[in-house]
C-alpha cells in the first residue's frame, strides 16, 4: 500500500508539471496576442503577406509536392529496431539478478536474439535499404 | 529544496488544509519555480552561446545592451513579442498554433526528471529513463506537425528530413543506454547516479558514452546535424512560415535542449552530483553540465554541416554497430568479470580505439588523390 501511494504521488506531481509546462508557452502566445488587442503590437495582414512563402516569387505549388520513397524504408527500419529496444530494456535492467539465478543462459539467449537482428541488419544493408542513393 | 521537503513544510505550516490541496499547491509552486529557473538559465545561455560562437568566428557578438551585452536576451524577447505574427492563409490554423506549444512543453517537461540529490520525485520513478526517451521522441512528431500545418513545400521537406533523422538516431541512442541500465540494474535516474559513486560510467563504457553523445547531438538537430533547418537549401525548414512569438517559442526550446542534453549526459555517464565531498553536489552537477554544454557548443562551432546521406549512413552503419557492440561487451563483462572495474576499463578503451580505427579506415573518406592539372586549351589563347 505504501508503494502505491508513492506512485500516485509521483504521477500526480508529473501531471501538475505537465500542466505548468503547457501553460508556459501558451501564456507566451496569449501575451503576444493580448498586446495585439491592446494596440501595442502591429497587425496589418494583407493579401500578399498571407500567401505561402515561395522564395521571392508568386506561390505556384502546394505542400503535396511528393517526397522520396526512401523515407518509408527508414521508417520500417526504425519500427523493427525500436521494438528490439523495448525487448532489451527489461532484460538489461534485470541481467545481474537473472544471472545469479540462471547463470550464463540469460546472456546467451539474448545474444541469439540480438544476433538474429544483426543478420536482418546485414540483409537491409546488402539490399541498400539504409543507403541514401 | 525538493518537492518532498516543500510538501512537508507546507503541510506543517497550514495543518488545517486537506492533504490534496497541500499536494496540488506545493506541486504547482515547485513546477513553476523549476520552469522559471530553466527559462532564466535558457535566457543566459542564448547570450553565452552567441558570444562564444562569435569568438569562434572572430566576431564581437552581442555587446550593446548592458555589460558585455548581458541584457541582450531581454531585448530579444521584447523585439520578438512586438513583432507581427502572421499565420498564412493556407495553413491549418489549429495545428499551426499547437505545434510550438507542445514543442516547448516537452522540452520543459524533461527537466523535471533530472535528479539533484537523493529525494528527486520524478528522477526516482522506476521507469524514469524510458519516460525521458519517450518524451524526447515527441519532438519528431511536433516538427512534423509544424511542417505539415504550414502547407509550404519547404516546410514539409524540412520536416520529413527531420523526422527521418530523428527516428534514425533514436535507435542507437536507446541501445547505447543499455550498458548504463545493465551496470546500475535500474531505470531510475537516482539509482543510476548512486551506482556511479565509485566510478563514473564514461570510464567503464567509453563507446556507449561516445555513441550516446553523438546521437544526442543529432536528436537536438544542431550543427553538424542541422539538416532540419539547412537555411541554404530549405529556407528555414519547418520554421519557414513561423513569425513573431511562435518563432520565439521554437527558438527558445532549441536553446533549452542543449542544456538538457548536457544534464542528462552528466546524470548517465559523469556521475551526476557525486564527487569529492568537500564541494556540495549541486556545484559538481552545475560544473559538469557546464563542461558538457561547452563541448556541445565547441562541436557546433567547428564542424560543417553534413549531407543527408552522410547523416543517415552514420546512424545506421556506424552508431548502430557501436551501440550493439557496447551492449554485448558490457553484458559479457558483467557475467564473467563481476565488478572488476579496472580490467573492464582497460578492455573497453582498447576496443573503442580499435573500433574507431576500423570505422575510419573502412567507411571514412578515401585519401585525397592529387592529379596533375591538365592545362586548358583556352589558357594560352592570347600568347599566339
The answer to the question of residue B263 being in a domain is yes
Task: Dump pLDDT digits (tens) for B218-277.
Answer: 888 777 887 776 666 677 778 888 888 888 888 888 889 999 999 999 988 888 777 777
User: Nearest-CA distance from A48 to chain B in Å?
Assistant: 10
* Number of Cα atoms under 13 Å in the Cβ half of residue B381: 4
Q: What is the DSSP string of B187-224?
A: S-HHHHHHTTSSS-HHHH-HHHHHHHHHHHHHHHT-TT
Between chains, do A96 and B109 touch, taking CB under 8 Å as contact? no
Domain assignment of residue B66, given as a range: 1-82
Task: Dump pLDDT digits (tens) for B27-66.
Answer: 888 888 888 989 999 889 999 998 998 988 888 888 888 7
* The pLDDT of residue A126 is above 80: yes
Question: Crossing angle of helices B138-150/B153-176, nearest 10°?
Answer: 180
The answer to the question of residue B377 being in a domain is no
Contacting residues of B for A110, CB less than 8 Å apart: 331
Domain count, chain B: 2
- B138 in contact with chain A, both atoms CB, cutoff 8 A: no
User: Nearest-CA distance from B280 to chain A in Å?
Assistant: 26
**Whether B125 and B101 share a structural domain:** yes
Last residue of a domain, which of B82, B115, B141?
B82
The answer to the question of residue B303 being in a domain is yes
Contacting residues of A for B247, CB less than 8 Å apart: none
**Whether B239 and B151 share a structural domain:** yes
Task: Dump pLDDT digits (tens) for B112-157.
Answer: 888 876 677 777 778 888 889 889 889 889 988 888 888 887 888 8
**Whether B153 and B268 share a structural domain:** yes
The answer to the question of residue B351 being in a domain is yes
Say what the pLDDT of residue A133 is: 67
Question: Crossing angle of helices A70-93/B153-176, nearest 10°?
Answer: 30
* Number of Cα atoms under 13 Å in the Cβ half of residue B44: 8
H or E element: which one contains A128? none
Say what the pLDDT of residue B294 is: 92
**Whether B131 and B189 share a structural domain:** yes
Last residue of a domain, which of B82, B116, B146?
B82
**Whether B73 and B114 share a structural domain:** no
Say what the pLDDT of residue B291 is: 92
Chain B, residues 151-190, CB within 8 A of chain A, namely: 151-157, 160, 163-164, 167-168, 170-171, 174-175, 178-179, 181-182, 185-187
d(Cα B145, Cα A57) in Å, to the nearest integer?
26
**Whether B112 and B77 share a structural domain:** no
**Whether B152 and B190 share a structural domain:** yes
**Whether B238 and B313 share a structural domain:** yes
d(Cα B250, Cα B277) in Å, to the nearest integer?
39
**Whether B53 and B168 share a structural domain:** no
Task: Dump pLDDT digits (tens) for B252-261.
Answer: 888 899 999 9
**Whether B171 and B131 share a structural domain:** yes
**Whether B184 and B307 share a structural domain:** yes
**Whether B126 and B14 share a structural domain:** no
Task: Dump pLDDT digits (tens) for B299-322.
Answer: 888 888 888 888 888 888 888 888
Instruction: Report the C-alpha dihedral over residues B333, B288, A20, B142, rounded to 10 degrees.
Output: -70
Amino acid at each position: 500500500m505504501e508503494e502505491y501511494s508513492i506512485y500516485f504521488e509521483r504521477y500526480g506531481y508529473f501531471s501538475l508539471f505537465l500542466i505548468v509546462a503547457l501553460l508556459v508557452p501558451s501564456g507566451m502566445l496569449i501575451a503576444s496576442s493580448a498586446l495585439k488587442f491592446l494596440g501595442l503590437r502591429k497587425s496589418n495582414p494583407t493579401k500578399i503577406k498571407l500567401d505561402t512563402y515561395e522564395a521571392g516569387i508568386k506561390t505556384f505549388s502546394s505542400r503535396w509536392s511528393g517526397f522520396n520513397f526512401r523515407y518509408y524504408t527508414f521508417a520500417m527500419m526504425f519500427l523493427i529496431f525500436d521494438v528490439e529496444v523495448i525487448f532489451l530494456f527489461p532484460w538489461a535492467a534485470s541481467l545481474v539478478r537473472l544471472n545469479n539465478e540462471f547463470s550464463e543462459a540469460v546472456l546467451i539467449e539474448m545474444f541469439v536474439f540480438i544476433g538474429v537482428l544483426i543478420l536482418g541488419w546485414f540483409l537491409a544493408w546488402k539490399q541498400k535499404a539504409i543507403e541514401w542513393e | 529544496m525538493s518537492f518532498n521537503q516543500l510538501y512537508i513544510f507546507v503541510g506543517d505550516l497550514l495543518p488545517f488544509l486537506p492533504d490534496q490541496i497541500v499536494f496540488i499547491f506545493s506541486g504547482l509552486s515547485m513546477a513553476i519555480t523549476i520552469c522559471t529557473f530553466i527559462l532564466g538559465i535558457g535566457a543566459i545561455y542564448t547570450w553565452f552561446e552567441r558570444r562564444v560562437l562569435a569568438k569562434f568566428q572572430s566576431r564581437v557578438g552581442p555587446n550593446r545592451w548592458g555589460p558585455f551585452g548581458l541584457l541582450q536576451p531581454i531585448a530579444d524577447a521584447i523585439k520578438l513579442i512586438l513583432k507581427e505574427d502572421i499565420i498564412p492563409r493556407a495553413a491549418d490554423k489549429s495545428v499551426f498554433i499547437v505545434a510550438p506549444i507542445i514543442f516547448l512543453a516537452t522540452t520543459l517537461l524533461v527537466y523535471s526528471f533530472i535528479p539533484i540529490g537523493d529525494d528527486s520525485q520524478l528522477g526516482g520513478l522506476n521507469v524514469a529513463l524510458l519516460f525521458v526517451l519517450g518524451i524526447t521522441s515527441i519532438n519528431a512528431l511536433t516538427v512534423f506537425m509544424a511542417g505539415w500545418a504550414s502547407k509550404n513545400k519547404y516546410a514539409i521537406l524540412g520536416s520529413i528530413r527531420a523526422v527521418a533523422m530523428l527516428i534514425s538516431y533514436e535507435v542507437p541512442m536507446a541501445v547505447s543506454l543499455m550498458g548504463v541500465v545493465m551496470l546500475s540494474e535500474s531505470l531510475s535516474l537516482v539509482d543510476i547516479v548512486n551506482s556511479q559513486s565509485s566510478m563514473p560510467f564514461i570510464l567503464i563504457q567509453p563507446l556507449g558514452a561516445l555513441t550516446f553523445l553523438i546521437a544526442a547531438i543529432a536528436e537536438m538537430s544542431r550543427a553538424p546535424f542541422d539538416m532540419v533547418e539547412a537555411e541554404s537549401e530549405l529556407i528555414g525548414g519547418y520554421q519557414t512560415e513561423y513569425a513573431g512569438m511562435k518563432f520565439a517559442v521554437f527558438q527558445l526550446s532549441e536553446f533549452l535542449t542543449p542544456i538538457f542534453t548536457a544534464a542528462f549526459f552528466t546524470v548517465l555517464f559523469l556521475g551526476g552530483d557525486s564527487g569529492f565531498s568537500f564541494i556540495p553536489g549541486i556545484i559538481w552537477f552545475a560544473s559538469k553540465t557546464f563542461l558538457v554544454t561547452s563541448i556541445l557548443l565547441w562541436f557546433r562551432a567547428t564542424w560543417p554541416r553534413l549531407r543527408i546521406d552522410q547523416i543517415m549512413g552514420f546512424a545506421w552503419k556506424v552508431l548502430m554497430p557501436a551501440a550493439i557492440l557496447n551492449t554485448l561487451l558490457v553484458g559479457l563483462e558483467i557475467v564473467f568479470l563481476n565488478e572488476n572495474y579496472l580490467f573492464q576499463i582497460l578492455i573497453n578503451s582498447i576496443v573503442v580505439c580499435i573500433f574507431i580505427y576500423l570505422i575510419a579506415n573502412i567507411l571514412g573518406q578515401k585519401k585525397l588523390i592529387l592529379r596533375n592539372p591538365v592545362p586548358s586549351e583556352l589558357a594560352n589563347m592570347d600568347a599566339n
